[in-house]
Structure 1
Amino acid sequence: MIKNIFTLCISVVCGIIIHAQSFESPNGKLQLNFAIKEEGSPYYALQYKGKTIVKDSKLGFILKPSTSYFSGFKVENISYTSENNTWKTVWGPNKEVNDHYKEMLVHLVQNKTGWKLDIRFRLFDDGLGFRYEFPVQPELRHFTINNELTSFNLGKDYKAFWIPADYDTNEFPVTTSALSRISGLIDEVRKEPLAAKAPSTSLAVQTPLMLKSQDGIYINIHEAALVNFPAMTLNLDDKNFILSSNLTPDKNGDRGFIQTGSVSPWRTMIISDDAREILSSNLIVNLNEPNKIEDPSWIKPTKYIGVWWEYFTGGGSTWAFSDNQDIRIGETDYKTLKPNGRHGANTKHVKEYIDFAAANGFDAVLVEGWNEGWEDNQAYRKEHIYSFTKAYPDFDVKELQAYAKRKNVKIIMHHESTSSVVDYERQLKDAFRFMKDNGYNAVKTGYVGPIIPRSEYHDGQWMVNHYRYVAETAAQYQIMVNSHEAVRPTGLHRTYPNWIAQESARGTEFESFNGNKPDHTTILPFTRLIGGPMDYTPGIFEGDLSVYGNNKAKLSTTLTKQLALYITMYSPLQMAADLIENYKKYPDAFQFIKDVAVDWDSSYILEAEPGDYVTIARKAKNKNEWFVGSITDENPREATVDLSFLPKGQKFEAIIYKDGKNASWNHNPKSYEISKQKVKSSEKLKIEVAPGGGFAISIKPV
């Protein structure tokens, strides 16, 4: 219960220092306690259904050089409010989202300095969000963060699904272990070969961090609305099981340059004793600002194919037009270079993809390697690498624009910067104008390698501002953005719905390096996807890459698990990532990819256990069509599909795409069966799932 506000105000007027306050979530299951403890330091604690989830935990900052912004405080005032409304999404897993919370805003003032600090807490039925607010004040205008002290005092050895804290990458494989075992495992995990790495010097892990207690409590820790602030990783005290904020620094060690009148991102905890509720939570998006694009009608969820996977298969295609490494952007005349004969992004080949997209109902074709500069794409630390307005001689921009338009297909632009971000920003408006003039309405951006400016990391404050600047600038040209190698998302797609997807995790491309495990996609919905949709690029039918040449990699999934990923790995931007020839070999299985929607009225989490299995059903936007996807780890299982999400009193036909009887991810991955049956809402389907397998179902009224 909220404390009596009148009594509280009288206490403040009378000069009595308020030491503790508490309030509850709308359903009463969560209770937050706030207190000023020793030396005037603010603390919070959290309970769920009467169980202590977070013990007394520190709040505040240390400012540079070593100034306390965490002690010597007294409560100046506390106010309470609540909200219960529903808002409509531009796109999403649900057409409408309920935003229901209770809020406590604590106004603090530091006794000696007079500095003010506000802490805003919001309790939803499924979790907590809180942020720091820095009021405009004459005593404090600018400051530099030395350290953020926010902690999550768990006090228990939770099972964790984690990747190492790294300021330059989110592409490590997910490790499952107890918190107490992380210190013994992390060094080996950090050996993973990646394009850029900047490991935290402390024992720390990335967010979103998924946790499970021995008594069945699920906790997800992340952040929301990351704006003008460095991304947060989590230091781990593995003796006392305390997690604490570890902000991404720049290479000078500064962790954030702040001006009063601003706010921090929200620190978030999603909590439940049912794993399905973690996946259905809207807490992250609800903590972001509403859509800032006045007319978003040009933003379209998209299903696409592309000139992409062939670069990873070992079949010989290259991004580069020439094998000549002696390239000078703006000086080299590409027409004088000898073509290597393996360049994938050529006019004839792209037309083949446009034809296939048009014939099979796809919206767009991604083309990587269209622009000058790829010969030098391993030149990390070099500032001028690519042109974003000049195409290779064998890529005819105007001809392809006209050809695609006749076929009612869009081409998705690709901007790989190799992390020469200063140079990309110099070219950005010219690049977007070039896109607008030539009929492109979406761009895939890339940030492979160490960042330029050379003092910055991928997840630092400067780069956080860059990614948002790209999305904001793109909106001015009515362009959608799919960013790869960027900081992991924090729900900003609500504010900028043209920021339609991100990679920011270990995607399908790592399958070409034997780099993903069968449980990988059963974990990502609980970790990376908590912050927003992922361009995972599913749909690979030929999982044995040795058929293309020297690549010996094999995928960690069955063919029908690849179909299921279109449902379980939510994104409004979904790629059919395999080669055209493989879809032609399996037209009956390919039919599901052609049919499946990419935007939804509603979603239903039917089964879920992180690292083990996920089963999700979704209703297509403005259609009487439903799609179900179910995946498992390396273990076989029997899935239960409760069809109660269907309208009552009607009959439907279900087309079921499932693993064959002898299928598994490492033996017979392409064995599958397709069947049809009549179903209704009162039924439950029992379907066997192979090791590393999955199934997909499309459902329509009879």
Structure 2
Amino acid sequence: MRKTFIFICCLFLWKMAAAQELLSPDKNLQLQFSITDNGKPTYQLTYKGKAVIKPSHLGLELKADASFIDSFEVAGSKASTYDETWEPVWGEVKEIRNQYNELEVNLHQLSTDRTLIVRFRLFNDGLGFRYEFPQQKHLAYFVIKEERTEFALAGDHKAFWLPGDYDTQEYSTVTSNLSEVRGKMKDAITPNASQAPFSPTGVQTPLMMKSKDGLYINIHEAALIEYSALSLELDDKNFVLKSVLTPDAIGDKGYLQAPCKSPWRTVIVSDKAGDILTSKLVYNLNEPPKYADAASWIKPVKYVGVWWEMITGKSTWAYTDIENVQLGVTDFSKTKPNGKHGANTAHVKEYIDFAAENGFDAVLVEGWNQGWEDWFGKTKDYVFDFITPYPDFDVQELHRYAASKGIKIIMHHETSSSVRNYERFMDTAYQFMVNNGYNAVKSGYVGNIIPRGEHHYGQWLVNHYLYAITKAAEYHIMVDAHESVHMTGLSRTYPNLIGQESARGTEYEAFGGNNPDHTTILPFTRLIGGPMDYTPGIFEMNVSAYNPDNSSKVNSTLARQLALYVTMYSPLQMAADFPETYRKHMDAFQFIKDVAIDWEDTKVLEAEPGDYITIARKAKGKNNWFIGSTCDENGRVSKINFDYLDAGWKYIATIYSDAKDAHYAKNPKAYTIKKMVVTNKTVLSLPCAPGGGYAISVMEADDDAIKALKK
């Protein structure tokens, strides 16, 4: 870490309400804080003179104690500036600048003689603020009834929103004006294994918006620790967003003990859409890594796996078709196999061979352990023990075979949302992984949480997710969590959290399909908090080719599936389709083999949420670039340049693009591949089919390679 300077300004004391201002380092953002006549803390935010957040109240309502809402005076404040550059263990860029101006406001509540600190950090790309509760005489243990933070917007913005829900983010994003949310909510709430929508105008964070005067605004939270997750309630008459915390089984929103602090509430803003995608504000509001040796055991992973065949219905997770099993009681060696179990030794070896042949790092195997027959939809506490394989899965032999090929196996822990059971077996399960050569685990939380009444995004589960990550770190295990709470930049502090799902991923292409604009929105919403294990790379768009009983279609062209490896950032990237399908398209599969998963630099070439995204990334430690472009159902012509390439150098660009007649619904597998020499002066126009896109590998080349290409 390189700290440029830290400068603490002077301390001022007030005994009356006084407006205070804070400017971002580039002076484009201005924060104003004040106290109303009845002692309510209020803030507002402008960008280049345009209103982003109009005067909005701050505070918390407590359950049994007097609330932190009014009767405040400013007891003092402190301003400071900070500027550092830090290097992530993995990421979209090699270095991240963390530069902000800070205002710490000390509030004294006259009616209770208590103290509350509101800390604001103003970056060039947005605002972060949080509540801090110092140790004090009149505040110890307290229960939050509701947080009363407001975001008063300047108008009826275009919004990209998910229905407010305490248990799932696996909805299609709705694009509409805020005034239309109420009317569209009923259709937006589609079935899910576990869901708890809370309001006809409730929405989730990250919430992406665009104002009519051209501002791009993103509201989210950072450093979600020992607190319940944030959602938003929309006042659709006044366009005010009000915080809603996820409740526990008895309706309480959080249990705190001073000294403590809330997560950061974040507002990212710019007049350029690409700035939202490159913002590192959420990461910067998290603490530095907790592990001194992180870089020695946390590595980006490119993998294949026994997964898509179960999602499509070709194979099963379960070993048998019996409907009543008891772990430790049912003798699976005496049951009749169903003949469709995917995670068998011989089949997994086929994936290991394919991974080794094509330079991959690992193979994910789901459905290897006993208990899958009757777990779904049942309120069963003791479902899996995470160490007992089915009879046809030879743990030791696969460990030996994978190691002989230089391949790791990724463990799968489906908890069935029985959180107590997972914690009961966690140490044993992680030690089992270490003993058998597994260094990464994909965990799942499908279904309603056990204990009953708890929600996926409540404080109790937030604490569990972090416990699982820190416990895994003790065993040098990386974690990819599915169905867990939204990401809030915690991968900076805990870099073994190398991926999460926490959104509607590729699996839904086999459950009826994702909208064609889906991947033009997710980088502006879900990925604001951290990388997503989206599992791209589907080459066979007709799911019926694998399972005649499934008529779903993947709403994407093949070329766009390649682009997703660049636009949908993750240090954990899966080639999700079948090896036999890739072998039919090895020319296109070459891009998946070549594309990097750890980056030195990132450039957003084009971006408009819901319409298109084009991103160029430079591979870490190499002078090679990869470009991906994805668009919505309308198609477009993408115009890009290469001015970020080194001057005076020549590169060979391999362009994987939609064919002239390509279309996500009518002709998804029509693609072309061509090579050409490019320099930093090259300009290209490339057509993107409806629901399509393109991918380009740009490799540094010597004279011999260029001559060979010209022949």
TM-score range, shorter chain: over 0.9
Q: Counterparts of 1:477 and 1:306 in 2: how far apart (Å)?
A: 23
Deviations 1:322-376 (A, max 9, x none): 1112211122221111111110000000000000000000000000000010012
Q: Counterparts of 1:114 and 1:343 in 2: how far apart (Å)?
A: 65
Q: Counterparts of 1:55 and 1:65 in 2: how far apart (Å)?
A: 31
Give 1:155 deviation, angstroms: 3.3
* 1:104 lines up with 2:103 in the alignment: yes
Give 1:202 deviation, angstroms: 5.7
Q: Counterparts of 1:658 and 1:574 in 2: how far apart (Å)?
A: 21
* 1:88 lines up with 2:80 in the alignment: no
Q: Counterparts of 1:49 and 1:642 in 2: how far apart (Å)?
A: 29
Q: Which moved more, 1:199-208 or 1:137-146?
A: 199-208
Secondary structure at the aligned position of 2:67 is classed as strand
Q: Output the TM-score relative to the length of structure 1.
A: 0.97
Secondary structure at the aligned position of 2:428 is classed as helix
Report if aligned partners of 1:155, 1:240 keep a CA contact under 8 Å in 2: no
* 1:386 lines up with 2:378 in the alignment: no
* 1:334 lines up with 2:337 in the alignment: no
Query: What is residue 320 of structure 1 aligned with on the other side?
Result: 318
* 1:664 lines up with 2:667 in the alignment: no
* 1:74 lines up with 2:76 in the alignment: no
Q: Which runs of 5+ in 1 are unaligned?
A: none
Deviations 1:601-656 (A, max 9, x none): 11111100000000000000101111000010001211112201111111111000
Query: What is residue 582 of structure 1 aligned with on the other side?
Result: 581
Query: What is residue 518 of structure 1 aligned with on the other side?
Result: 516
Letter in 2 for 1:503: E
Q: Counterparts of 1:546 and 1:435 in 2: how far apart (Å)?
A: 35
Query: What is residue 402 of structure 1 aligned with on the other side?
Result: 400
Q: Counterparts of 1:187 and 1:558 in 2: how far apart (Å)?
A: 30
Query: What is residue 369 of structure 1 aligned with on the other side?
Result: 367
Secondary structure at the aligned position of 2:502 is classed as coil
Query: What is residue 194 of structure 2 aligned with on the other side?
Result: 196
| Runs of 4+ residues over 4 Å off in structure 1 | none
Query: What is residue 129 of structure 1 aligned with on the other side?
Result: 128
* 1:569 lines up with 2:559 in the alignment: no
Secondary structure at the aligned position of 1:674 is classed as strand
Q: Counterparts of 1:256 and 1:661 in 2: how far apart (Å)?
A: 55
Give 1:126 deviation, angstroms: 0.5
Report if aligned partners of 1:66, 1:146 keep a CA contact under 8 Å in 2: no
Q: Counterparts of 2:612 and 2:160 in 1: how far apart (Å)?
A: 14
Letter in 1 for 2:285: L
Give 1:513 deviation, angstroms: 1.6
Query: What is residue 506 of structure 1 aligned with on the other side?
Result: 504
> Where does 1:552-567 land on structure 2 (aligned, <5 Å)?
552-567=551-566
Report if aligned partners of 1:19, 1:37 keep a CA contact under 8 Å in 2: no
Q: Counterparts of 2:316 and 2:353 in 1: how far apart (Å)?
A: 22
Q: Counterparts of 2:386 and 2:43 in 1: how far apart (Å)?
A: 49
> Where does 1:471-490 land on structure 2 (aligned, <5 Å)?
471-490=469-488
Report if aligned partners of 2:164, 2:199 keep a CA contact under 8 Å in 1: no
Give 1:546 deviation, angstroms: 1.7
Secondary structure at the aligned position of 1:277 is classed as helix
Query: What is residue 345 of structure 2 aligned with on the other side?
Result: 347
Percentage identity across aligned positions? 57
Candidates 438, 453, 457, aligned match of 1:459? 457
* 1:418 lines up with 2:416 in the alignment: yes
Query: What is residue 255 of structure 2 aligned with on the other side?
Result: 257
Report if aligned partners of 1:309, 1:579 keep a CA contact under 8 Å in 2: yes
Secondary structure at the aligned position of 1:562 is classed as helix
Query: What is residue 22 of structure 1 aligned with on the other side?
Result: 21
> Where does 1:123-202 land on structure 2 (aligned, <5 Å)?
123-190=122-189, 192-201=190-199
Q: Counterparts of 2:466 and 2:603 in 1: how far apart (Å)?
A: 31
Give 1:5 deviation, angstroms: 6.1
Letter in 2 for 1:518: P
Letter in 1 for 2:22: F
Query: What is residue 653 of structure 1 aligned with on the other side?
Result: 652
Deviations 1:670-696 (A, max 9, x none): 000000000000122111111100100
Q: Counterparts of 2:154 and 2:604 in 1: how far apart (Å)?
A: 30
Give 1:201 deviation, angstroms: 3.7
Q: Counterparts of 2:476 and 2:582 in 1: how far apart (Å)?
A: 32
Query: What is residue 529 of structure 1 aligned with on the other side?
Result: 527
Report if aligned partners of 1:303, 1:575 keep a CA contact under 8 Å in 2: yes
Letter in 2 for 1:137: Q
Query: What is residue 39 of structure 1 aligned with on the other side?
Result: 38
Secondary structure at the aligned position of 2:519 is classed as helix
Secondary structure at the aligned position of 1:39 is classed as coil
Q: Counterparts of 2:511 and 2:415 in 1: how far apart (Å)?
A: 23
Query: What is residue 636 of structure 1 aligned with on the other side?
Result: 635
Query: What is residue 300 of structure 1 aligned with on the other side?
Result: 299
Give 1:66 deviation, angstroms: 6.7
Candidates 410, 421, 434, aligned match of 1:436? 434
Q: Counterparts of 1:595 and 1:652 in 2: how far apart (Å)?
A: 15
Q: Which moved more, 1:63-72 or 1:583-592?
A: 63-72
Q: Which runs of 5+ in 2 are unaligned?
A: 1-7, 702-711
Q: Counterparts of 1:532 and 1:302 in 2: how far apart (Å)?
A: 16
Secondary structure at the aligned position of 1:69 is classed as coil
Query: What is residue 275 of structure 1 aligned with on the other side?
Result: 273
Query: What is residue 425 of structure 2 aligned with on the other side?
Result: 427
Secondary structure at the aligned position of 1:83 is classed as strand
Q: Counterparts of 1:637 and 1:184 in 2: how far apart (Å)?
A: 30
Deviations 1:453-506 (A, max 9, x none): 113100000000100000000000000000000001000000000000000000
Query: What is residue 709 of structure 2 aligned with on the other side?
Result: none
Letter in 2 for 1:597: A
Query: What is residue 358 of structure 1 aligned with on the other side?
Result: 356
Tell me how many residue pairs correspond in the alignment.
Answer: 692
Secondary structure at the aligned position of 2:643 is classed as helix
Q: Counterparts of 2:199 and 2:665 in 1: how far apart (Å)?
A: 38
Deviations 1:376-418 (A, max 9, x none): 2214311111120111110000000000000000000000011
Report if aligned partners of 1:89, 1:494 keep a CA contact under 8 Å in 2: yes
Give 1:108 deviation, angstroms: 0.7
Give 1:38 deviation, angstroms: 2.5
Report if aligned partners of 1:380, 1:450 keep a CA contact under 8 Å in 2: no
Q: Counterparts of 1:259 and 1:686 in 2: how far apart (Å)?
A: 58
Report if aligned partners of 2:635, 2:690 keep a CA contact under 8 Å in 1: yes
Letter in 2 for 1:38: D
Secondary structure at the aligned position of 2:227 is classed as coil
Q: Counterparts of 1:5 and 1:124 in 2: how far apart (Å)?
A: 17
Q: Which moved more, 1:367-376 or 1:202-211?
A: 202-211
Residues 1:379 and 1:240: Cα distance change in structure 2 (over 3 Å): closer
Give 1:514 deviation, angstroms: 2.0
Candidates 539, 553, 578, aligned match of 1:541? 539
Secondary structure at the aligned position of 2:588 is classed as helix
Quote the RMSD (CA, aligned, Å). 1.1
Give 1:65 deviation, angstroms: 3.5
Q: Counterparts of 1:664 and 1:264 in 2: how far apart (Å)?
A: 47
Q: Counterparts of 1:84 and 1:398 in 2: how far apart (Å)?
A: 51
Report if aligned partners of 2:51, 2:154 keep a CA contact under 8 Å in 1: no
Letter in 2 for 1:92: G
Letter in 2 for 1:282: K
Q: Counterparts of 1:158 and 1:379 in 2: how far apart (Å)?
A: 39
Q: Counterparts of 1:376 and 1:235 in 2: how far apart (Å)?
A: 37
Query: What is residue 245 of structure 1 aligned with on the other side?
Result: 243
Deviations 1:144-200 (A, max 9, x none): 00111100000300000000010000101000000000001102211x111001111
Report if aligned partners of 2:246, 2:458 keep a CA contact under 8 Å in 1: yes
Q: Which moved more, 1:327-336 or 1:175-184?
A: 327-336
